[in-house]
Amino acid sequence: MQEIKSQKKVRDFHQAKWNEPVIFELHQKGERGVVPPRTEEKIASTIGDGVSKLPGHLKRSRAPELPEISQNRVLRHYLRLSQETLGAAFNVEIGQGTCTMKYSPVVNEKLVASEKLRSLHPKQDEETVQGTLKATYELDLYLREISGMDYFSFQPGSGTQALFMMASMVRAYHEANGEGEQRDEIITTIFSHPSQAATATVKGYKIITLYPDENGFPDLEKLKDAVSERTAGFVVANPEDTGIYNSKIKKFTKVVHDAGGICYYDQANANGLLGITRAKEAGFDMCFFNLHKTFSTPHACGGPGSGAVGVVERLKPYLPKPIIEKHGEKYVLNTNLEHSIGKVRSYYGVAQNIIRAYAWIRALGPDGLKAVSETAVLNNNYLYSKIKEIKGVDVPYAEGGRLEQVRYSWEPLYQDTGITTEDISRRMADFAHQYWTSHHPYVVPQPFTLEPTESYSKEDLDEYIRSLTHISNEAYTSPEVIQSAPHCSSIHKITTDKYFEDPEHWAITWRAYLKKYKNTKEKQT
Amino acid sequence: MTKTITHPYLPNTNSEIKTQMLKEIGIESIEELYQTIPDELRYTGKLNIPEALNEFELKREVGNLLQENKGTNEVISFLGGGCWQHFIPAVCDEIASRAEFVTAYAGDEYEDHGRFQVLFEYQSLLAELLCVDVVNVPTFDWGQAAATAIRMASRLTKKREALVPKTIAPERLKIIWNYCSPDIEIKLIDYQEATGELDLTDLKNNISGQTAAIYFENPSYLGFLETQGEEISRIAKSSDVITIVGVDPISLGVLESPAQYGADIICGELQPLGNPMNYGGGQSGFIATRDEIEYISEFPSRLFGITPTSQEGEYGFGDVFYDRTSFAKREKGKESVGTQTSMCAITAGVYLALMGPEGMAELGQTIMQRSQYAMKKLNEIEQITSSYFNNVSFKEFVVDFNETGKTVAEINQYLLSKGIYGGIDLSEEFPELGQSALFCVTEVHSKADIDALAKELRSFL
């Protein structure tokens, strides 16, 4: 035969499509998936069946209507559904901007599979968990080095919980200083994760939101107008979702400090900044890192993640209990924190993610960490230079100077063709790509946000660029292909939002679905 | 000159490709990309972090570190109290380690159809156990689920007080306090000394026009069962107070669901359903309600629903009533939503699919038999009363060591030296119980394990 020429064009892809039933439809009376441990005869003969002790009204009267399925069929069902999930390990995962979808090293997964970690109970004697405590303590030291902060807490299970923890500490701090009532406002910005504003609201704060100036930065003049004796805190990311580094950040933190507020830094994504610039020098009192973003722990379909919060010395007494310290050669859980906010999450954090992040840093070392950031920024600027050339794409705000991500806009394409960013999202699935628009509200019209991290090669980036270019061409030549997409996904287009928005029609569980729709042909259409 | 080694996690760092990329960008060095960062903010030092390890060295290093832990699998452990040692079917581990799921995040229904379906199925499977029609994509843990349930009740009733029993798990109470302050006041209700159950007189005395919710746990943190659920919810209802019940779902193969004795909102912990303890990293909470728009409107969490697609006979899934959430409405949404613990919920779904109704019933029975056997064995030791409360318990019970003349700390230290992790020391959490400890016995504890505990306690006391 002749040499088979693999052509560099858009990927000829089709996602696994199993048309898998909902698990209840696999039910076969009498089948078993697993048999749990049974009591020894000697116990049964002494105790009886155990459940007879229950008062009648507390004893379950009807067995739960769980399906009965043999083990192989359960396994197969879930394996098939896993194949219908486009995890980061399978694609050029640069489309979920702000999420830092980098490579999660396989060796770390092997390490955390150890029973030496999995089987640990959080209330074990400290003597029996020295390994985990040591790793946590050392990770604390590394993150202090990276951020300039003085102490870290690993209790939060994600960035949202880290933001909540920081808002809680802001409140505790002002309360301890007799200004809890007076300081009732937290200032945030619109190009930030919604949880910045949402978690501060949970802690009883009024929210002031800064909008960007003409260059895409939060407006310093507006901040000056916003601060007052009511300011409790200021929370901001830098770069924000636009990827633009705000070079005046120190002026921002000074304005807030002068007004008596606390500055906390959303570093959920710090992927462009390792060894480059730190929270401390920019004037922040607290910051947090998502270990499931910058520090490579996998995103696990949405958690558990890990939000590591760093604070300056004066805020240490407000940290949730306990923190991990080294006393002599021993690692201990210290609960002696005078103004502690108590707890945000049970126990001490997501230990498996602490080990993964620790291992990731150890694998990279100081030079490797800096190379991570430099490569992430290089990749992003390469991508940026190509994406902005695609017909129909606009890049709002400052020219140049983007760090790890960029928020783009399809507004020109939409004006020309009527194709929306959501349409493009569905079509990207046909080429094995994740694609994310942005959080609401859409300040940038028809937005999409790309973050290529350090994990993807030039060729990977070129593939993504080819796909977007191809779709742009389709928008101008055959928009119906996009409008009816996806064509190569596990499922076809959902054409109505009736089943998500109408209380009469939605079904959040299978039993609700059966109640509403079983034997009702007209409703099923 | 030593050869520069390209790091295996980092493509695009060899000079040829880097030069090419820089050229395409139109610059000469990466440094130019950092021009927006002022000099005064540039970190110029070298991070004080150990030099890089290769994969072999890393495995050895972290492996050695973990060797300094002694897992519950190497000893006999009676620790529980919110995180419990249970049998984990191999299929749960297999699915929980699939790279497709482990590395997925927040894709839409077309890229991640499988993820949407398994979470919808998890909601549906747990709903059968709970006898309710709505279950959320999970929260961080039981404590946060309870706190959110209380906040939901507060929004529903527009009232700002919640009542919780003094026997509530201290970890959870701390979370509730923090999540509910400053908006909602939490009042603690007395318990009956003999049984541990809620003091209904104190409950009635504390219900006021400001009461949004009564929250209680079943099984309680201290292991006993609250048998007055029906009466508590009746009292609540007569004052327009919402009843919230926290539950360990692994008990529901043998225990009645709180929905059957009047719970309006049910919450609890998913860790026992197939998730390893991971030193507390396996915690995951759920919230469940009836299919009523008033309740659904108050969920901060994502709720996945089922829909037809443009292809006949095909299931699709997606977000129900997204506009509730902070994703849609920022500070005007309900509390906050973000990354929580989806993988634990997927695993819990696999667990329930494997266990089926028979498995859950058998498991519940085994746990009750073994824990009752342990209570009996310990009670046979003269100075020990097991349990402290005169009540039925599910898998945990309070062991009273007050007559031994020894502290729980001393007893546990001795047990530790014999390869046994004794129960949680309650002397600080519940000083009124004196020297007492919370012991947990599940299906993993054999008769030999329990007998070994009794033998060691006898010889020490």
Q: What is the pLDDT of residue A457?
A: 97
Residue of B nearest to A118 (CA): B278
How many contacts (CB atoms, under 8 Å) link A and B? 713
Mean pLDDT of chain B: 97
Any chain B CB within 8 A of the CB of A477?
Answer: no
Is residue B69 pLDDT above 70, yes or no?
Answer: yes
* Distance between CA atoms of residues A240 and B369, nearest Å: 57
For residue range B289-336, list pLDDT tens digits in order. 999 999 999 999 999 999 999 999 999 999 999 999 999 999 999 999
For residue range B367-404, list pLDDT tens digits in order. 999 999 999 999 999 999 998 999 999 999 999 999 99
3-state helix, strand, coil in chain B (%, to 5): 45, 15, 40
B175, A345: Cβ pair inside 8 Å?
yes
Q: What is the pLDDT of residue B206?
A: 98
Contacts of B374 in chain A (CB under 8 A): none
A35, B359: Cβ pair inside 8 Å?
yes
Looking at the complex, report in whole angstroms how far the Cα of residue B422 sits from the nearest Cα belonging to chain A: 9
The residue type of A264 is Y
Any chain B CB within 8 A of the CB of A334?
Answer: no
CATH architecture assigned to A366-483: Alpha-Beta Complex (3.90)
Cross-strand partners of B400: B385, B436
Contacts of A44 in chain B (CB under 8 A): 369
B144, A345: Cβ pair inside 8 Å?
yes
Interface test with B, best of A59, A62, A77, A202 (most B CBs within 10 A): A202
Is residue B259 pLDDT above 50, yes or no?
Answer: yes
Q: What is the pLDDT of residue A4?
A: 86
Backbone phi, then psi, for A5, in 5-degree steps?
Answer: -90, 110
Reference A410, options A461, A450, A445, A462; nearest CA is A445
Is residue A522 pLDDT above 80, yes or no?
Answer: no
Is residue A302 pLDDT above 50, yes or no?
Answer: yes
Contacts of B367 in chain A (CB under 8 A): 50
Q: What is the pLDDT of residue B265?
A: 98
Instruction: Give whole-number Cα distances, B395 to A118, B226, B364, B368, in Å.
Output: 21, 14, 9, 6
B62, A358: Cβ pair inside 8 Å?
yes
* Distance between CA atoms of residues A165 and A343, nearest Å: 9
Structure-token match 């709180």, residue found: B258
* Distance between CA atoms of residues B176 and B139, nearest Å: 13
B343, A304: Cβ pair inside 8 Å?
yes
**What is B381-418 written as a DSSP string?**
STT-EE-SSSS-BSSEEEEE-GGGTS-HHHHHHHHHHT
Sequence-ordered alpha helix ranges (H) in A218-315 = 220-226, 249-258
Is residue A283 pLDDT above 90, yes or no?
Answer: yes
- Which of B47, B70, B366 has the CB atom closest to A145's CB atom? B47
Question: Residue A250 contacts by C-beta under 8 Å, 6 or more apart in sequence?
Answer: A281, A282, A283, B38, B40, B41
- Which of A19, A20, A349 has the CB atom closest to B281's CB atom? A349
Reported confidence tier of residue A2, pLDDT bands at 50, 70, 90: confident
Instruction: State what percent of residues in chain B have pLDDT above 70.
Output: 99
B307, A63: Cβ pair inside 8 Å?
no
Interface test with A, best of B65, B91, B329, B390 (most A CBs within 10 A): B65
Contacts of A79 in chain B (CB under 8 A): 95, 98
Question: Residue A512 contacts by C-beta under 8 Å, 6 or more apart in sequence?
Answer: A506, B127, B133, B134, B291
Reported confidence tier of residue A322, pLDDT bands at 50, 70, 90: very high
Is residue A410 within 8 A of residue A393, CB to CB? The reply is yes
- Which of A46, A84, A492 has the CB atom closest to B310's CB atom? A492
The residue type of A292 is H
Cross-strand partners of B285: B139, B269
Q: What's the average model confidence in pLDDT over A287-294?
A: 98
Q: How open is the CA angle A247-A290-B148, to the nearest 5 degrees?
A: 115
Q: What is the pLDDT of residue B2?
A: 57
- Which of B46, B120, B392 has the CB atom closest to A53's CB atom? B392
β-strands A330-334, A323-327 pairing: antiparallel
Is residue B281 pLDDT above 60, yes or no?
Answer: yes
Is residue B49 pLDDT above 80, yes or no?
Answer: yes
β-strands A307-311, A262-267 pairing: unpaired
Q: What is the pLDDT of residue A222?
A: 95
Residue of A nearest to B107 (CA): A434
Question: What does the domain layout of chain B look like in residue ranges?
Answer: 72-87+363-460, 90-352
Is residue A523 pLDDT above 60, yes or no?
Answer: no
Sign of CA dihedral A51, B345, A114, A346: negative
A304, B172: Cβ pair inside 8 Å?
no
Looking at the complex, report in whole angstroms how far the Cα of residue B188 sits from the nearest Cα belonging to chain A: 17
- Which of B46, B50, B310 has the CB atom closest to A493's CB atom? B310
Question: Residue B385 contacts by C-beta under 8 Å, 6 or more apart in sequence?
Answer: B379, B399, B400, B402, B403
Any chain B CB within 8 A of the CB of A143?
Answer: no
Q: What is the pLDDT of residue A521?
A: 59
Is residue A414 within 8 A of residue A445, CB to CB? The reply is yes
For residue range B186-226, list pLDDT tens digits in order. 999 999 999 999 999 999 999 999 999 999 999 999 999 99
Is residue B423 pLDDT above 90, yes or no?
Answer: yes
Looking at the complex, report in whole angstroms how far the Cα of residue B27 sits from the nearest Cα belonging to chain A: 10
B108, A494: Cβ pair inside 8 Å?
no
* Distance between CA atoms of residues B388 and A177, nearest Å: 43
For residue range A147-177, list pLDDT tens digits in order. 999 999 999 999 999 999 999 999 999 999 9
Residue ranges of E strands in B248-381: 265-269, 285-289, 304-308, 315-319
- Which of A31, A130, A276 has the CB atom closest to B34's CB atom? A276
**What is A174-217 written as a DSSP string?**
HHHTT-TTT--EEEEESSS-HHHHHHHHHTT-EEEEEPB-TTSS
B115, A343: Cβ pair inside 8 Å?
no
Q: What is the pLDDT of residue A400?
A: 65
CATH number of B90-352: 3.40.640.10
Q: What is the pLDDT of residue A525?
A: 38
Q: What's the average model confidence in pLDDT over A108-121?
A: 98
Contacts of A513 in chain B (CB under 8 A): 306
For residue range B105-126, list pLDDT tens digits in order. 999 999 999 999 999 999 999 9
Reported confidence tier of residue B3, pLDDT bands at 50, 70, 90: low
* Helix, strand or coil, per DSSP, at residue A315: helix
Question: Residue A421 contacts by C-beta under 8 Å, 6 or more apart in sequence?
Answer: A410, A414, A437, A446, A447, A448
Is residue B1 pLDDT above 60, yes or no?
Answer: no
Is residue B428 within 8 A of residue B442, CB to CB? The reply is no
- Which of B91, B307, B339 has the CB atom closest to A75's CB atom? B91
B310, A495: Cβ pair inside 8 Å?
yes
Is residue A134 pLDDT above 70, yes or no?
Answer: yes
β-strands A231-236, B315-319 pairing: unpaired
Is residue A71 pLDDT above 50, yes or no?
Answer: yes
Q: What's the average model confidence in pLDDT over A49-75?
A: 96
What's the CATH number of domain A111-362, 3.40.1010.20, 3.40.640.10, 3.65.10.10, 3.60.150.10? Answer: 3.40.640.10
Is residue A524 pLDDT above 50, yes or no?
Answer: no
Sign of CA dihedral B42, B44, B49, B54: positive
Q: Is B121 exposed, middle or buried (0-12, 13-18, 19+ CB in 10 A)?
A: buried
For residue range A362-385, list pLDDT tens digits in order. 999 999 999 999 999 999 999 999
Output DSSP code: residue B448.
H
Question: What does the domain layout of chain A look like in residue ranges?
Answer: 16-36+67-81, 111-362, 366-483, 498-525
Is residue B116 within 8 A of residue B101, CB to CB? The reply is no
* Distance between CA atoms of residues A112 and B66, nearest Å: 9
C-alpha of A58 from chain center: 40
Residue of B nearest to A281 (CA): B41
Looking at the complex, report in whole angstroms how far the Cα of residue B327 sits from the nearest Cα belonging to chain A: 6
* Distance between CA atoms of residues B410 and B419, nearest Å: 15
Reported confidence tier of residue A214, pLDDT bands at 50, 70, 90: confident
User: pTM above the 0.95 mark?
Assistant: yes
Reference B104, options A385, A87, A310, A12; nearest CA is A87
B91, A78: Cβ pair inside 8 Å?
yes
* Helix, strand or coil, per DSSP, at residue B154: helix
* Distance between CA atoms of residues A403 and A379, nearest Å: 9
CATH number of B72-87+363-460: 3.90.1150.10
Question: Residue A134 contacts by C-beta under 8 Å, 6 or more apart in sequence?
Answer: A331, B65, B68
Is residue B18 pLDDT above 70, yes or no?
Answer: yes
